[in-house]
Structure 1
Amino acid sequence: MALTYRLATEADLIDIVGLLADDQLGATRERFQLPLPATYMEAFTIIASDQHQELTVVELDGQLVATFQLSFIHYLTYQGGIRAQIEAVRVKSSHRGQGLGTAIFQYAIQRAKDRGAHLLQLTTDKKRPEAKKFYKSLGFVDSHEGMKLHLR
């Protein structure tokens, strides 16, 4: 399986939002319609211009089949360390269960190391027990209890 990884372009935005919405939870929070709501383009512009963000698309045989976002967070602990956070990992529903998720995480882990991160973290919704099992199989440890405060 020869996957190609590259930074997303504006032309990928419709496919990316489609991937985000092609999911039980994503379908409740995304607005995948044409034209896309302007908020997606606004967010893309900010992400694409930030050197600490990498919105990545994954292609298989020239077809966009997955996406994820890496954020590199500089902080004072760990002697001014960098932690990477992976978010919005989505594999096209027609390509799930074929090992793409594992390959994508291997790439993302290496990418985080290449950028000098000492840690790669993620959050997962408690409604996704299979995702948690998958992350553990990759070596992630549920070492902290996360909390969120929705502001709207």
Structure 2
Amino acid sequence: MTGQNLVIRRAREDDLRNLVALFADDAVGGHGDTNDPEAFEDYLRAFHSIDTASHEQLFVAELQGEVVGTFQLTYYRTLAGRGAVNLRIEAVQTRSDRRGQGIGAKMITHALEEGRRHGCKAAYLTSNNARTDAHRFYERLGFVKSHAGFKMPLK
């Protein structure tokens, strides 16, 4: 397990190439992420949109100066639940050579602490059906499979 040297902090623009590499290395995600330099402007625009939004936060996990993980948080209010604020955890990635070292658990713990700090009623996340190891990981952390998720491409 990774020691106390893991730092979880807000992502900065200079982290972006490392974050893109994390997503491009994900064979299961199927999001079309790429290290192609021509795509970098798309990532840069997205980063600035997330970074300036009051209801979104992008984090990195850093170990000895290297980005080894990331996750994104979105806070949203619903009319159901008497106007509850909920937390959505997205884009959880640990660098492939660093999996199994406790980094993911620390990132999720940090995400849940942020949700509590923002007064969230519940935390939600989705995970690709093919990620059975990730499902066991989330269940070990206390998440419950309570809903079925659906997706429809709009382009």
Q: TM-score, normalised by structure 1?
A: 0.94
1:131-142 aligned at under 5 Å gives the runs 131-142=134-145
Aligned AA (2:14): A
Shift of 1:4: 1.0
Q: CA deviation at 1:29?
A: 1.5
Q: Could you say what the CA RMSD is over the residues aligned between the two structures, in angstroms?
A: 1.4
8 Å Cα contact 1:14-1:36 kept in structure 2: no
- In the alignment of these two chains, the number of paired residues is 152
Report deviation, 1:107. Answer: 1.2
Equivalent runs, 1:108-147 vs 2, <5 Å: 108-147=111-150
1:18 maps to 2:21? yes
Q: TM-score, normalised by structure 2?
A: 0.92
Structure number with greater CO (CA < 8 Å, separation at least 6) is 2
Q: Give the whole-Å Cα distance in 2 for the aligned partners of 1:28 and 1:113.
A: 29
Match of 1:46 in 2: 49
Q: Equivalents in 2 of 1:51, 1:110: separation in Å? A: 17
Secondary structure at the aligned position of 1:121 is classed as strand
Displacement of 1:25: 2.0
Matches within 5 A, 1:22-101: 22-26=25-29, 29-34=32-37, 36-101=39-104
Measured against aligned partners, the alpha-carbon deviations of 1:47-103 in whole angstroms (never above 9, x if no partner) come to 011010000011112221111000001121221111100111111111111111111
Q: 8 Å contact 1:66–1:90 — kept in the other structure?
A: yes
Contact 2:23 / 2:34 at 8 angstroms: preserved in 1?
A: no
Q: Which residue of 2 aligns with 1:102?
A: 105
Question: Unaligned regions of 5+ residues in structure 1, if any?
Answer: none
AA at the equivalent of 2:127: T
1:134 offset after TM fit, Å?
1.0
What percentage of aligned pairs have identical amino acids?
A: 37
Deviation at 1:37, TM superposition (A): 3.0
- Which 4+ stretches in 1 moved above 6 angstroms? none
Conserved? CA contact 2:29–2:128, under 8 Å: no
Moved more, 31-40 or 91-100: 31-40
2:7 alignment partner in structure 1: 4
